[in-house]
Amino acid sequence: MAGSPYWADSYVQKCCTAEEAIGRIRPGQRIFIGSSCGEPQHLVKALAEAAGGFTDLEIVRLMSMETTSLSTIAERSRGQRLNIRSFYMGSAKSKGLIEKSRFITPLNLFSVPRLFKSRQLPIHVALIQVTPPDDFGWMSLGVSVDITLAAANSADLVIAQVNPQMPRVLGRSFIHVNDVHLVVQKEEPILTLPEIVESEAAGTIARFTARLIKDGATLHITPDAAPQAIVANLAEKNDLGIHTQFLTDEIMQLFARGVVTNRHKGLNNGKIVASGAIGSANLYEFINDNPAIEFHPSDYVNAPAVIAAHNNMASLCVAMAMDLTGQVAADAMAFNKFSGVTGMFDFVRGAFQSEGGRSIIGLPATARGGTQSRIVPMLENTVVVVPRSDVHYVVTEFGVVNLFGKSLQERAMAMISISHPDFRDELMAQAKKMKLIGSDRTLLGSLHGVYPIRLEETVVIDGETVTIQPATLVDERRIQEHFYALDKSDVLSRFFHEKTTFAYDDVGKASQVDYIKNLTILALIGDVGFGRVVGIGEYLLDPATNLARVAFSVSSSWKRKGLGKRLMEKLFEGARDNGIKGFTAYAVPENLGMVNLFKTLPVEVTTSIEDDMIMLQCLFDEPRN
């Protein structure tokens, strides 16, 4: 076609009807269909209508919502008319996927273009959808570049549906008229994504997730990652960048609000980079000829090395289920059947390799109306999409854990800590049975109450970020290390006797808490999952009096910086919300710090001497005059 004198003349010569174009397909050929919302619906419909005249065609595509069900034709003809090859890395638990599981080819998305280009999987015919040509004969693949460009460049016969409603997107998204064999002109609406109804759990997960995102971070957000809630919780961030598989309406909103500037990405600065778009008609209008947006093929966008080249890369993905060792199963659902699962591992691995990067996996704790735990003892009869060795941050509506560098026992305790409270005892029992957790470990009966996210706070003290948060099951070792690092005088003030060892029995009640009766608040510095405890405040309820006894310890280098006061404020807030009547404490006479802490409360404080100890007490219903 390079010998064509002028592209406009050849364009006219290549125009034909869909029926004529599909008539060029021969038996036994392999047919690629443009992916995601870029599916050429008119051509696919014509192919389906002509299927009765074909034998042994193989349809190659990403997992699709199938506006025209070619899979049904394949089923009815027992593969004699059509066979399907869907690139998909997820599990196949739903009824619809189980029935089509034999059509699945597991492959990471960034590897698919190589399969086409090498002709290890030859593409005989590519059905694609493009914009009308510009003045130079270039047509944009619009909302679907991903693996479509590689398929078109590798195919023996390229049939292009030219649709004026397809947005013209910049980047490596173009194919020239001279590289297309047949043109079918058909205007029709581009496929859009239905609005996702987000659950309360999704909103809580988004709030936790947003706390892991730094100003200036570069984001990958899968379409199923509670996007609306994430947008709301990222609204106060600054200078975020986008390098993602799919551009969505929510990312458009972040850009419109000035949250996304792409200034500090480290690669493709100033540009939103993606390989496709799925969303509304408004989104497609936004990306049309927008110089701030570039679409590139999947072997670039999803390449772990490219992802890792970004500053503070944060990958936000969603799992269907996880086990106590950290293995991840994911599944195609109504809102991510456009291959969101298939690119998951690419971004998980690439984000972690980024300087300051974070791989974050969100997981609603339960399914089927809360009757089934999504955290299970061990994944069975399903596909592991992300191996345990590559899992780092995991977020449910009950908290955040970091599994990186953790032993199997630490992982199991971590996963149990963020599971739904109704399933924790059973998960603990199963973990012991599987020898993942020692028989001496307990949940003190049960871990009652929902993690009180309202008590979390991040403050900056002397230029260092300090996280104030309730303790969780995974904090045992850090609490031990804190006690071992205390000065002898501080140990005496905290435990009222000399102490040189702090075994599990001593710290277990602090790290395995009942958020109502035994609340422990930690002050931590450092990264989530690896932070160092520099302060502890805890209360233990006496049910007989409904008074809680409080105790504190602060590392020597963090004293006189207001840390104890902040810990006391959180304990007071938690106790008051839980209906506790008041606080008591014992202190050695030299411990004026405890006395001063009580005096910071907005209630009356009484003091008395008992066995050479100062006894402090306050009642919450007696405000200070």
HSE-CB for 177 with a 13 A CA cutoff: 24
Mean pLDDT of 522-540: 89
pLDDT value of position 92: 57
Q: What is the pLDDT of residues 584-611, one digit of tens each?
A: 998 887 778 888 899 999 999 999 988 7
Within 10 angstroms of residue 325's Cβ, the number of other Cβ atoms is 21
Instruction: Judge contact between 321 and 92, C-beta under 8 A.
Output: no
Q: With the C-alpha atoms ordered 527, 531, 534, 539, is the resulting torsion angle positive or negative?
A: positive
Alpha helices in 393-544 (DSSP H): 408-417, 421-433, 476-485, 488-495, 504-511
Mean pLDDT of 617-624: 94
Within 10 angstroms of residue 521's Cβ, the number of other Cβ atoms is 27
Assess whether pLDDT exceeds 60 at residue 4: no
pLDDT value of position 448: 56
Q: What is the pLDDT of residues 75-112, one digit of tens each?
A: 665 656 778 887 876 665 555 555 556 677 778 888 99
Q: Which residues pair with 243 in a beta bridge?
A: 273
Greatest Cα-to-Cα distance within the chain, rounded to the nearest angstrom: 104
| Rounded Cα gap, residues 68 and 486, in angstroms | 68
| Rounded Cα gap, residues 278 and 294, in angstroms | 15
Residues 6 or more apart whose Cβ sits within 8 Å of residue 568: 537, 550, 552, 597, 598, 600, 601
SS (H, E, C) 442-470: CCCCCCCCCCCHHHCEEEEECCEEEEEEE
Q: Using alpha carbons, select from 203, 205, 201, 238 the residue that is nearest to residue 219.
A: 238
DSSP string, 144-182: B-TTHHHHHHH-SEEEEEE-TTS----BS-EEEGGG-SE
Task: Determine which of 141-155, 295-309, 394-408 has the lowest per-residue pLDDT on average.
Answer: 394-408
pLDDT value of position 161: 98
How much is the mean pLDDT over the chain? 87
57-62: strand order across its sheet: 104-105, 82-87, 57-62, 30-33, 125-130, 157-162, 182-185
Task: Determine which of 301-315, 320-334, 347-361, 563-577 has the lowest per-residue pLDDT on average.
Answer: 320-334
Tokens of 590: 């030299």
Q: What is the pLDDT of residues 419-462, one digit of tens each?
A: 998 999 899 999 999 999 888 776 653 455 677 888 989 899 99
Task: Spell 359-383 as b/e; 16+ CB within 10 A means b.
Answer: bbbbbbbbeeeeeebbbbbebeebb
Q: Which long-range contacts (CB under 8 A, 24 or more apart) does 255-261 make?
A: 255/292, 259/234, 259/235
pLDDT value of position 5: 60
| Rounded Cα gap, residues 399 and 379, in angstroms | 21
DSSP state of 77: T
Q: Which residues pair with 15 in a beta bridge?
A: 183
Q: What is the pLDDT of residues 455-510, one digit of tens each?
A: 989 899 998 999 999 988 778 888 888 888 888 777 666 765 555 556 655 555 55
Instruction: Judge contact between 104 and 86, C-beta under 8 A.
Output: yes
Q: What is the pLDDT of residues 172-221, one digit of tens each?
A: 999 999 999 999 999 999 998 777 666 778 888 888 899 899 999 999 99
pLDDT value of position 625: 78
Q: What is the pLDDT of residues 268-313, one digit of tens each?
A: 999 999 999 988 999 999 999 999 999 999 999 999 999 999 999 9
Assess whether pLDDT exceeds 50 at residue 336: no
| Rounded Cα gap, residues 179 and 137, in angstroms | 10
Instruction: Judge contact between 471 and 465, C-beta under 8 A.
Output: no
Mean pLDDT of 325-330: 93
Assess whether pLDDT exceeds 90 at residue 262: yes
pLDDT value of position 55: 85
Within 10 angstroms of residue 340's Cβ, the number of other Cβ atoms is 27
DSSP string, 90-111: SB--SHHHHHTGGGEE---GGG
| Rounded Cα gap, residues 91 and 62, in angstroms | 15
pLDDT value of position 534: 95
CA distances, 153 to each of 299, 319, 400, 496, 592 (Å): 14, 34, 44, 76, 77
Name the pTM for this structure: 0.85
pLDDT value of position 337: 46
CA distances, 202 to each of 80, 341, 386, 434 (Å): 44, 18, 21, 31
Tokens of 373: 């735990």
Q: How many residues would you count in the chain?
A: 625
pLDDT value of position 292: 97
Query: Please, is 442 exposed, middle or buried when counting C-beta atoms within 10 Å of its C-beta (0-12, 13-18, 19+)?
Result: middle
| Rounded Cα gap, residues 457 and 524, in angstroms | 11
pLDDT value of position 401: 92
